[in-house]
């Protein structure tokens, strides 16, 4: 037989097999498709949200070379004068960003610009405004973006009422921007009107600069001598900052999606391995007919690649559809609230889509790799006889490889984060998992060896059968071990996180009622006068005021949160990590969050410089505190120090302790009525606040739960498939059993028992592996991604329940597939194969 | 009568009524130097310098530097420093026959913060680093545009010329259609011109117009022709006419100062513009009469441009397209003067937003 002809023959035989067993093909394709779909959907949603965020950033600064930005409160407009008159600056466009509370409820972002200057940087958006220059000079003139107009159901000429510092102001819509100009929901005003209306006269939020041609923007930025808390960055850097903010979260989701895909790969491996095992004799026959080893291997790989290609294409298409659906339903935010954009457009990067299809092929080929080798290794003469076993040498090799992988995995867990990502942690998980899977046959064999031979002949038969088909069982268990162990690890991490979070909430929310000036509104002040009013509300025993504000410590990093509150030098009442340390007594103290320590290298006992009131103020770092609310870093300082440094007596939050026997809800309502902050002021009972925080937490992890469930589902599918394939393959065996007198029910019970036993072994082993992986997740991946520590807690009940469901499902499917396989006539079944 | 100013005024103020602004009154006389500065209460105002230059190699160039101030709103109660209620626009152009078209650039900014200011009481204008200011016996004009620069000193050699009646210059049949308007003809120029990075010393003569008003043009006026000439004999001639939508003359006027200093204000009937050869702009398709026969003050002058393509297209910023360029005046074939000619309203009806 010529080579070309022989491989054609081999492929023809495989094709015949496929026609014969379409279910196997469908399941393999489906497994790959689901895995790819998940990975693609998660990636596309994140990519779309990020692209939208980038668009919004570009829209804000247009073609500016540099964006000079302060924190939310803004900076003095004198900086604008200084920058605008600097040589090298061609255009300096001042911008004021504020949120206004709407009388009808909700808020509207307001952007105050000088239309003439802004138009020079962003003609697509502000070109419209230049023509409205005079109309916009009217102090009550407002331009709405298309989405804001749609949302508020307003057209040109309509009026919109805002609440500003307790007063209502009516603005007239002088124009609605075309939808192409911006997708953001916002209102535009002349900067003079915006300053006046929002009580921000003299303040700016940002200045966009266009520089003379040939100037290096980054170098120019360094020479600007900006006041503390104000930084200048290029639009590219600004976008990178948003990327940094969400990268850890996005990579975690991507990894989780890849887990589903990995499980899919194991399913391909399992089905292919079983098929090869089942077809040993056909393969041997082919070899005897002159088909070479390489050709046989190629044939198995081609089959795998075909499955991967079909699954990849279907999966990518499905993933795109899922992404579109998710984006249209809930926007580009996958729950973490980090990228709040109004995107409905799915980014469709052709390269990424092609990569996902390729990934499907790679995964399927990888899954088919070992089975292909095994197919090629078939020795014709031996395989044509019955009762072939795996060579001891291969087993030893496998043990060596497994121990190498496990050692490597343990080592990777100690690698520090790379590019701010826990890459070592992920590598560790991959190595540990691969090593653990290689040990599955050894584990099954050891378990079986330790079981005593039971009295019941049926059980004895079952055990004997299992002991003699360890290789087959191990293969079908691989998928369940992979998916279940990852599920266990994720469940432990999320549970530990949630539990720690809940306890942390208790620690940071000790009071009964909380007041917060909405971060979205700049139009209400919790002033000293308002605080006095608050303290005088009947039923209020004690109040504590806070001031939170954003500080920018490094241009490339997202801003950190500064919390000024009554704080003893010991840090009492803060959820501290470790103990407070002594600091220079001449410096005010600060407690930094774990994230701040990791991101800026600030250690307890050291000194931290904070840009406050336009100058750098030194603080002694007295300790670390745990802050689950801000993964970009936060610092707590004493309110008295803050007031002394800034001279400000304005607060953003207040905690209220109730007098004995005062009813929280009635006091809460009384506070709302007395302070009249409208939508700008949130007054909320501690219980409701905790509930709300936990709900937000669960929402953030909803996608995680969904991805986990899918991974377990795919694992279960693998088990079902393995049993179905085995049951069909063992038709002759069942016929034999019936021949020697077993009733059909007994055969089925034996099969169900086999299924339950194997599943139990797989689940038990998966649990062990999962515990190991969870340690890496909690102490390495989580720690490096979000910079905070968790208390390790195992959700025993939840895991037990899932384990039980898995075992029961395995038993049930084994029984069902047995029923199908034993339905034929006994004699025919025996004849068929013997 | 200056194009950029009027077009911008029309564009910016199309919707606004003039009620509430000061009105130009006949009988009020322009007083210098007090009136050489800004009149911030009036709605519009401009300082317009045009002239001929000659490089060391003898190459002729035309130039134009304009500062235009407008007060688009009467509102004054906003405490924001951005709410000055005044806008400053600067425009500069260089007519370079070797290039065959204009170099030009413009800036626009709200007045305030010391970044864009028009001083009261003396000519002192700046918009960032573009300036036009009266100094010690001379004006300085400095403009650094994207691809050319002008740094010129302009010395007055003649007394100011108050147009109309003591500076009250009527622009239409109604007495309220008017502006306060004086000119400084015969300015001696020296300085430097940079084109494409190459600096050259230049000398020449120029003409400065300063005009302010709140409502000069009436609704029926859609286009105009204006010319200002420094006559070789030391005299100066300014003439304008205003056209309606049909192209008929709605008003005309001018001033003629003889070499001996005697000034004659020209009545509408004393000024006749007769269009000659037309040039069609390849960019906008608009045909401008770039050559003219002008009958004014008993003189018959043929006006010919330094070169044809002196069209200004500032649609991107102001929406205005017009022709403004250096011209020579000939009488019986002999050159008698040089100056600037301005032609507006020759396109389709202006798209005023």
Mind listing the pLDDT tens digit for each residue in B28-65?
Answer: 888 888 999 999 988 889 999 999 999 999 999 999 99
- Residue A116, in any domain of the structure: yes
Tell me the pLDDT band of A241, cut-offs 50, 70 and 90.
Answer: low
- Given A181, A203, A233, the domain boundary residue is A233
- Residues in Cβ contact with B332 at an 8 Å cutoff, skipping those fewer than 6 apart: none
* A245 has pLDDT over 70: no
pLDDT in the model for residue B11:
46
Indicate whether A106 and A210 sit together in one domain.
yes
Mutation site, B18, B82, B90, B107, interface A, largest A CB count within 10 A: B82
Tell me the pLDDT band of A526, cut-offs 50, 70 and 90.
Answer: confident
- From the number of C-beta atoms within 10 Å of its C-beta (0-12, 13-18, 19+), residue A469 rates as middle
Name every chain A residue with its beta carbon within 8 A of the beta carbon of B85: 137
Q: Closest approach of chain B CAs to the CA of A84, in angstroms? A: 7
Indicate whether A284 and A400 sit together in one domain.
no
Question: Measured between alpha carbons, how far is A156 from B332 in angstroms, rounded to an integer?
Answer: 61
Axis-axis angle for helices A470-508, A423-438 (nearest 10): 150
* Phi-psi domain of A222 (left: phi exceeds 0; alpha: psi -120 through 50; beta: other): alpha
Indicate whether A703 and A789 sit together in one domain.
yes
What are A593's strand-pairing partners? A625
Nearest to B73 among A94, A131, A134 (CB): A134
Name every chain B residue with its beta carbon within 8 A of the beta carbon of A94: 82
pLDDT in the model for residue A106:
80
Radius of gyration of chain B (CA): 19
Domain holding A756, by residue range, is 393-405+433-510+690-834
A203 shares contact with chain B (CB less than 8 Å): no
Name every chain B residue with its beta carbon within 8 A of the beta carbon of A81: 113-115
B350 shares contact with chain A (CB less than 8 Å): no
- Complex ipTM: 0.81
Find out whether A9 and A1 touch, Cβ atoms under 8 Å: yes
Q: Inspect the interface and report whether the beta carbons of A81 and B114 lie closer than 8 Å.
A: yes
- Residues in Cβ contact with A806 at an 8 Å cutoff, skipping those fewer than 6 apart: A480, A484, A712, A716, A719, A759, A762, A763
Nearest to B128 among A85, A131, A190 (CB): A85
Burial A659-698 (b: 16+ CB within 10 A, else e): eeebebeebbebbbebbebbbbbbbebbeebbeebeeebe
Q: What part of B 43-102 touches A (C-beta under 8 Å)?
A: 72-73, 75, 77-83, 85, 87
Nearest to B82 among A85, A135, A192 (CB): A192
Q: Inspect the interface and report whether the beta carbons of B75 and A139 lie closer than 8 Å.
A: yes
pLDDT in the model for residue B229:
93
Nearest residue in chain B measured CA to CA from A120: B317
pLDDT in the model for residue A238:
66
Indicate whether A264 and A153 sit together in one domain.
no
Nearest residue in chain A measured CA to CA from B113: A81
Nearest residue in chain B measured CA to CA from A86: B128
pLDDT in the model for residue A421:
76
Tokens of A452: 């005593």
Strongest mean pLDDT among A148-152, A510-514, A571-575: A148-152
Name every chain A residue with its beta carbon within 8 A of the beta carbon of B70: none
Cis-peptide, bond into residue B33, ω within 30° of zero = yes
Nearest to B72 among A81, A94, A137 (CB): A137
List pLDDT tens digits, range B238-281.
999 988 888 888 889 999 999 998 999 998 988 999 999 999 98
Indicate whether A140 and A45 sit together in one domain.
no
Name every chain B residue with its beta carbon within 8 A of the beta carbon of A114: 82, 110
A111 shares contact with chain B (CB less than 8 Å): no
- Beta strand pairing status for A634-638 and A560-565? parallel
Name every chain B residue with its beta carbon within 8 A of the beta carbon of A117: 109
pLDDT in the model for residue A37:
84
Q: Which residue has the higher pLDDT, B290 or A705?
A: B290
* A799 has pLDDT over 80: yes
Q: Mean pLDDT, chain A, as a whole number?
A: 78
Axis-axis angle for helices A731-739, A744-776 (nearest 10): 140
Indicate whether A354 and A367 sit together in one domain.
yes
Q: Closest approach of chain B CAs to the CA of A198, in angstroms? A: 11
Please state which of the ranges A152-156, A479-483, A502-506, B17-21 shows the lowest mean pLDDT. Answer: B17-21
Q: What part of A 732-761 touches B (C-beta under 8 Å)?
A: none
Please identify, in words, the CATH class of the domain defined by B3-12+31-344. Answer: mainly beta
Q: Closest approach of chain B CAs to the CA of A682, in angstroms? A: 30
Nearest to A77 among B73, B81, B319 (CB): B81
Name every chain A residue with its beta carbon within 8 A of the beta carbon of B114: 81, 85
- Residue A411, in any domain of the structure: no
B196 shares contact with chain A (CB less than 8 Å): no
Burial B215-237 (b: 16+ CB within 10 A, else e): bbbbebbbbbbbbbbbbeeebbb
Indicate whether A713 and A785 sit together in one domain.
yes
Q: Inspect the interface and report whether the beta carbons of B80 and A193 lie closer than 8 Å.
A: yes
Question: Measured between alpha carbons, how far is A635 from A597 in angstroms, rounded to an integer?
Answer: 10
Q: Closest approach of chain B CAs to the CA of A139, in angstroms? A: 8
A94 shares contact with chain B (CB less than 8 Å): yes
Please state which of the ranges A65-79, A381-395, A716-730 shows the lowest mean pLDDT. Answer: A381-395
Nearest to A137 among B73, B108, B317 (CB): B73
Nearest residue in chain B measured CA to CA from A79: B113
Question: Measured between alpha carbons, how far is A485 from A577 in angstroms, rounded to an integer?
Answer: 30
Name every chain B residue with its beta carbon within 8 A of the beta carbon of A209: none
pLDDT in the model for residue B16:
47
Question: Measured between alpha carbons, how far is A156 from A228 in angstroms, rounded to an integer?
Answer: 42
Q: What part of B 283-302 touches A (C-beta under 8 Å)?
A: none
In this prediction, residues A504-511 reach a mean pLDDT of 80
Name every chain A residue with its beta carbon within 8 A of the beta carbon of B109: 116-117
Q: What is the total count of domains within chain A?
A: 4
Q: Closest approach of chain A CAs to the CA of B112, in angstroms? A: 9
B248 shares contact with chain A (CB less than 8 Å): no
Indicate whether A128 and A257 sit together in one domain.
no
Indicate whether A481 and A574 sit together in one domain.
no
- Residue A413, in any domain of the structure: no
Find out whether B171 and B251 touch, Cβ atoms under 8 Å: yes
Nearest residue in chain B measured CA to CA from A201: B80
List pLDDT tens digits, range A441-450.
888 888 888 8
Please state which of the ranges A305-314, A667-676, A815-824, B295-304 shows the lowest mean pLDDT. Answer: A815-824
- Residue A419, in any domain of the structure: no
Indicate whether A255 and A295 sit together in one domain.
yes
Q: Which whole-number Å values give the CA distances from A682 to A516, A538, A679, A833, B65, in the listed order?
A: 5, 19, 7, 76, 57
Chain A and chain B share a number of CB contacts under 8 A equal to 66
Indicate whether A770 and A815 sit together in one domain.
yes
Q: Closest approach of chain A CAs to the CA of B353, in angstroms? A: 6
Q: Which residue has the higher pLDDT, A215 or A54?
A: A215
Q: Closest approach of chain A CAs to the CA of B128, in angstroms? A: 7
Distance of CA A58 to the CA centre of its chain: 25
pLDDT in the model for residue A388:
47
List pLDDT tens digits, range A459-478.
787 788 777 777 667 766 77
Nearest residue in chain B measured CA to CA from A96: B82
* A334 has pLDDT over 60: no
Indicate whether A813 and A734 sit together in one domain.
yes
Q: What part of A 339-368 touches B (C-beta under 8 Å)?
A: none
* A534 has pLDDT over 90: no
A85 shares contact with chain B (CB less than 8 Å): yes
Q: Inspect the interface and report whether the beta carbons of A81 and B115 lie closer than 8 Å.
A: yes
Tokens of B251: 């008003």
pLDDT in the model for residue B240:
92
pLDDT in the model for residue A823:
67
Q: Inspect the interface and report whether the beta carbons of B79 and A201 lie closer than 8 Å.
A: yes
- Residue A204, in any domain of the structure: yes
Q: Inspect the interface and report whether the beta carbons of B15 and A135 lie closer than 8 Å.
A: yes
The helix or strand, by DSSP H or E, that contains position A712, with its residue range, turns out to be helix A686-729
Nearest to A84 among B12, B115, B317 (CB): B115
pTM higher than the cut 0.80:
no
Q: Which residue has the higher pLDDT, A334 or B148?
A: B148
B115 shares contact with chain A (CB less than 8 Å): yes
- Residue A516, in any domain of the structure: no
In this prediction, residues A89-97 reach a mean pLDDT of 88
* A677 has pLDDT over 50: yes
Strongest mean pLDDT among A165-179, A307-321, A524-538: A307-321
Name every chain B residue with its beta carbon within 8 A of the beta carbon of A201: 79-81
Q: Per residue of chain B (353 residues), give pLDDT as tens.
A: 454 454 455 544 444 455 678 888 888 888 888 999 999 988 889 999 999 999 999 999 999 999 988 887 776 788 888 888 888 888 899 998 888 888 888 888 888 888 889 999 999 999 988 999 998 889 999 998 878 999 999 999 999 999 988 899 888 888 888 889 999 999 999 999 998 888 999 999 999 999 998 876 777 777 889 999 999 999 999 999 988 888 888 889 999 999 998 999 998 988 999 999 999 988 888 889 999 999 998 889 999 999 889 988 766 555 568 898 999 999 988 999 999 999 988 875 443 33
Nearest residue in chain B measured CA to CA from A89: B128
Find out whether B197 and B144 touch, Cβ atoms under 8 Å: no
Q: Which residue has the higher pLDDT, A334 or A691?
A: A691
List pLDDT tens digits, range A253-286.
677 667 667 767 777 777 777 667 667 777 778 7
Please state which of the ranges A37-41, A617-621, A814-818, B134-138 shows the lowest mean pLDDT. Answer: A814-818
Q: What percent of chain A has pLDDT over 90?
A: 4
List pLDDT tens digits, range A588-616.
889 998 888 888 888 888 888 888 877 88
Q: Inspect the interface and report whether the beta carbons of B82 and A114 lie closer than 8 Å.
A: yes
pLDDT in the model for residue B190:
94
pLDDT in the model for residue B204:
94
pLDDT in the model for residue A510:
79
Q: Inspect the interface and report whether the beta carbons of A116 and B80 lie closer than 8 Å.
A: no
Q: Which residue has the higher pLDDT, A61 or B183?
A: B183
- Residue A518, in any domain of the structure: no
Q: Closest approach of chain A CAs to the CA of B309, in angstroms? A: 27
């Amino acid at each position: 037989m010529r080579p070309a002809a022989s491989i054609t023959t081999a492929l023809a035989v495989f094709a015949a097999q496929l026609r014969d067993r379409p279910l196997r093909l469908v399941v393999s394709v489906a497994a790959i498709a689901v895995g790819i779909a998940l990975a693609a959907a998660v990636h596309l949603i994140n990519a779309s949200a990020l692209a939208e965020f980038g668009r919004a950033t570009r829209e804000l600064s247009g073609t500016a070379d540099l964006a000079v930005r302060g924190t939310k409160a803004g900076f003095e407009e004198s900086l604008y004068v200084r920058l605008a008159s600097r040589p090298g600056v061609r255009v300096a466009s001042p911008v004021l960003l504020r949120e206004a509370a709407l009388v009808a409820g909700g808020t509207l972002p307001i952007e105050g610009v000088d239309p003439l200057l802004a138009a020079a940087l962003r003609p697509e958006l502000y070109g419209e405004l230049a023509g409205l220059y005079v109309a916009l000079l009217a102090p009550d003139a407002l331009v709405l973006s298309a989405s804001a107009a749609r949302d508020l159901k307003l057209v040109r000429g309509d009026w919109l009422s805002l609440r500003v510092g307790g007063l209502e102001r009516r603005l007239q819509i002088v124009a609605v921007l075309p939808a192409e100009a911006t997708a953001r929901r916002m209102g535009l005003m002349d900067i003079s009107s915006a300053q006046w209306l929002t009580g921000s006269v003299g303040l700016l939020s940002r200045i966009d600069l266009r520089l003379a041609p040939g100037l290096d923007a980054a170098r120019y930025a360094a020479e600007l001598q900006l006041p503390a808390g104000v930084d200048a960055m290029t639009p590219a850097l600004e976008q990178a900052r948003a990327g940094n903010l969400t990268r850890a979260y996005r990579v975690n989701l991507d990894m989780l999606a890849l887990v589903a895909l990995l499980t899919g790969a194991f399913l391909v491996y399992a089905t292919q391995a079983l098929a090869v095992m089942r077809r040993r004799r056909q393969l041997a026959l082919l070899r005897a007919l002159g088909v070479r080893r390489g050709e046989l291997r190629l044939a198995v790989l081609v089959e795998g690649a075909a499955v991967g290609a079909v699954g990849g294409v279907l999966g990518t298409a499905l993933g795109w559809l899922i992404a579109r659906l998710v984006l249209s339903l809930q926007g580009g935010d996958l729950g973490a609230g980090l990228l709040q954009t109004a995107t409905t457009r799915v980014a469709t990067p052709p390269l990424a889509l092609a990569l996902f299809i390729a990934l499907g092929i790679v995964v399927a080929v990888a899954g088919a790799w070992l089975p292909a080798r095994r197919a090629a290794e078939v020795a014709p003469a031996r395989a044509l006889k019955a009762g072939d076993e795996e060579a001891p040498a291969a087993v030893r090799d496998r043990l060596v490889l497994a121990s190498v992988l496990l050692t490597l995995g343990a080592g990777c867990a100690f690698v520090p984060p790379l590019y701010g990502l826990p890459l070592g942690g992920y590598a560790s998980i991959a190595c540990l998992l691969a090593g653990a899977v290689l040990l599955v046959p050894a584990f099954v064999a050891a378990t079986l060896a330790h079981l005593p031979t039971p009295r019941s002949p049926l059980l004895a038969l079952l055990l004997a059968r299992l002991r003699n088909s360890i290789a087959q069982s191990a293969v079908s268990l691989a998928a369940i071990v992979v998916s279940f162990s990852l599920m266990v690890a994720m469940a432990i991490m999320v549970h530990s996180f949630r539990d720690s979070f809940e306890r942390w909430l208790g620690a940071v929310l000790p009071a009964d009622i909380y007041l917060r000036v909405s971060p979205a509104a700049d139009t209400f002040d919790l002033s000293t006068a308002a605080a006095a009013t608050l303290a005088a509300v009947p039923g209020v025993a004690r109040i504590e005021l806070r001031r939170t504000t954003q500080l920018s410590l490094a241009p490339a990093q997202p801003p950190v949160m500064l919390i000024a509150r009554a704080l003893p030098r010991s840090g009492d009442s803060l959820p501290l990590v470790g103990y407070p340390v002594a600091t220079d007594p001449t410096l005010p103290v600060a407690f930094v969050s774990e994230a701040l320590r990791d991101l800026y290298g600030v250690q307890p006992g050291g000194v931290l410089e904070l840009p406050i009131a336009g100058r750098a103020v030194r603080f002694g770092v007295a300790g670390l505190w745990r802050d689950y609310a801000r993964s970009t870093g936060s610092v707590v300082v004493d309110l008295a120090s803050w007031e002394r440094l800034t001279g400000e007596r304005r607060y953003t939050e207040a905690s209220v302790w109730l007098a004995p026997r005062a009813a929280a809800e009635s006091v809460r309502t009384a506070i709302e009525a007395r302070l009249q902050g409208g939508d700008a002021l949130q007054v909320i009972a501690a219980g409701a606040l905790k509930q709300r925080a936990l709900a937000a937490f669960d929402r953030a992890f909803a996608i995680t739960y969904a991805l986990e469930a899918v991974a377990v589902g795919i694992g279960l599918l693998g088990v079902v498939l393995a049993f179905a394939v085995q049951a069909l393959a063992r038709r002759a065996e069942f016929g034999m059993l019936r021949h020697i007198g077993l009733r059909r029910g007994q055969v089925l019970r034996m099969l169900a028992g086999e299924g339950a036993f194997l599943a139990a072994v797989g689940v038990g082993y998966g649990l062990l592996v999962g515990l190991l992986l969870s340690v890496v997740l909690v102490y390495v991946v989580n720690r490096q991604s979000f910079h905070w520590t968790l208390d390790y807690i195992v959700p025993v009940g939840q895991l037990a329940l899932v384990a039980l469901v898995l075992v029961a499902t395995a038993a049930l499917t084994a029984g069902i597939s047995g029923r199908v396989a034993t339905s034929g006539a006994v004699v025919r079944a025996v004849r068929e194969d013997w | 009568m200056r194009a950029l100013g009027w077009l911008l005024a029309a564009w910016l103020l199309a919707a606004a009524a003039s009620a509430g602004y000061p009105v130009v009154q006949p009988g009020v006389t322009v007083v210098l130097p007090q009136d050489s500065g800004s009149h911030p209460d009036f709605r519009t105002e401009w300082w317009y310098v045009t002239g001929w230059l000659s490089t060391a190699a003898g190459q002729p160039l035309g130039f134009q530097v304009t500062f235009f101030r407008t007060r688009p709103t009467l509102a004054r109660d906003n405490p924001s420093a951005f709410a000055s209620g005044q806008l400053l626009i600067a425009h500069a152009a260089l007519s370079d026959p070797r290039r065959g078209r204009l170099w030009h650039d413009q800036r626009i900014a709200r007045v305030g913060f010391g970044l864009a200011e028009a001083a009261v009481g003396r000519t002192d204008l700046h918009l960032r680093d573009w300036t036009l200011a009266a100094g010690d016996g001379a004006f300085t004009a400095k403009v650094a545009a994207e691809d050319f620069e002008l740094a010129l000193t302009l010395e007055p050699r003649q007394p100011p010329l108050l147009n109309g009646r003591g500076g009250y210059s009527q622009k239409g049949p109604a007495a309220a259609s008017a502006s306060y308007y004086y000119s400084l003809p015969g300015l001696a120029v020296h300085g430097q011109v940079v084109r494409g990075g190459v600096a050259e010393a230049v000398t020449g003569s120029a003409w400065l117009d300063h005009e302010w008003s709140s409502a000069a043009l009436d609704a029926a006026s859609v286009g105009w022709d204006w010319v200002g000439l420094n006559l070789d004999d030391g005299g100066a001639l300014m003439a304008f006419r205003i056209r309606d939508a049909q192209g008929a003359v709605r008003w005309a006027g001018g001033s003629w100062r003889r070499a001996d200093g005697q000034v004659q204000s020209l009545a509408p009937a004393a000024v006749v513009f007769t269009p000659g050869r037309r040039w069609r702009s390849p960019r906008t398709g608009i045909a401008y009469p770039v050559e003219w026969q002008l009958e004014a003050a008993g003189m018959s002058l043929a006006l010919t441009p330094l070169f044809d393509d002196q069209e200004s297209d500032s649609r991107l910023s102001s929406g205005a397209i017009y022709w403004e360029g250096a011209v020579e005046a000939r009488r019986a074939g002999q050159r008698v003067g040089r100056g600037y000619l301005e032609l507006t309203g020759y396109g389709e009806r202006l798209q005023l937003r």
